[in-house]
Structure 1
Amino acid sequence: MRWIPFLLITLLFSCTPLKRDCKAFKTGTFSFETLQDGQLITTTFTRNDTLEVAMVNGRPDSSDVRWINDCEYIVSKRNPKNRAEKQAVHMKVLYTEANSYTFEYSLVGKPRKEKGSVSKLKD
């Protein structure tokens, strides 16, 4: 019975809502890390309201950005090189921190979702 107050206090403090200040991440320069074929790949990209330019293997790769609301947007490659690149990606910011955000993404129309995180390098 002594553990009940401890459990209640733990539950009270662990249920704080997650912050979602998505407007702060609409524009700027960002960094994203992912594992590809067992290698850690870092991609840096710059986004304004409607355009995202990433450096992929030392070459720029441009995508159009269409905002659905402050925390969700669709990314479409400007010059897709193959059928897979033609597929748009739905991005949804789940929560934000001081200089980063965690997001969920999926191909438009597909149920499978993945998660990732992005760090903001500069405005």
Structure 2
Amino acid sequence: MRILGILMLVLMTSSCYQVERDCSNFRTGTFIWEQESGGKLLKTTFTRTEEFQIETYEGVIDSSRVEWINDCEWRIIPINPKTNADSRAYLFRILNTTEDSYTFEFKQSGREQTYQGTAVKK
């Protein structure tokens, strides 16, 4: 009986902490991602369709192809990279969502280091 009570308690409390992940609302649209680096606030604006993503960062526009793995994961592949290092794809994964934003993690192909951010849908 004690084990059953503990199991019920675990099930009840874990359901309260379910992370919202409605990724389909964020497949396409225009988004803003802000991050602080070296005491400076950096802002990236990007528009994503089912096939392409166009980013604007510090006045520079960059275009990439989008390959969807599922509603919550996709790969960004640069269209016209200037260097070999710039040609690497990035893998993105949505961790959780709110009504108008999503928290994500990403890493460059072939690299282990993962970064996180939050994008807000305009």
Name the aligned partner's letter for residue 58 of structure 1: G
What is the match of residue 107 of structure 1? Answer: 108
Say if 2:76 is the partner of 1:75: yes
CA distance in 2, matches of 1:36, 1:85: 20
SS at match of 1:42: strand
Report how many residues are paired.
112
Cα distance between partner residues in 2 of 1:113 and 1:59: 24
1:3 corresponding residue in structure 2: none
* In 2: Cα distance, 1:35 partner to 1:41 partner: 6
Summarize the alignment of residues 42-81 of structure 1 with structure 2, pairs less than 5 Å apart.
42-81=43-82
- What is the CA distance between 1:109 and its match in structure 2? 2.9
Q: Is the 8 A contact 2:74 2:91 kept in 1?
A: yes
Give 1:34 deviation, angstroms: 2.0
Q: CA deviation at 1:16?
A: 1.8
For 1:17, the aligned partner's letter is Q
Partner of 1:18: 19
Q: Secondary structure at the match of 2:54?
A: strand
Query: Is the deviation greater in 12-21 or in 43-52?
Result: 12-21
> What do you get for the CA RMSD once the two structures are aligned?
1.8
Q: CA deviation at 1:60?
A: 2.0
Matched residues in 2 for 1:37 and 1:83: separation? Answer: 26
Contact 2:51 2:67 in 1 (8 A): yes
Q: TM-score, normalised by structure 1?
A: 0.82
The gaps in structure 1 that reach 5 residues or longer are 1-7
**Which whole-Å CA distance do the structure 1 matches of 2:104 and 2:33 have between them?**
11
**Which runs of 5 or more residues in structure 2 are unaligned?**
1-8
Conserved 8 A contact 2:33-2:120? yes
Deviations 1:12-42 (A, max 9, x none): 3894200111000001100001234432111
Partner residue, 1:27: 28
The normalised TM-score by structure 2 is 0.83
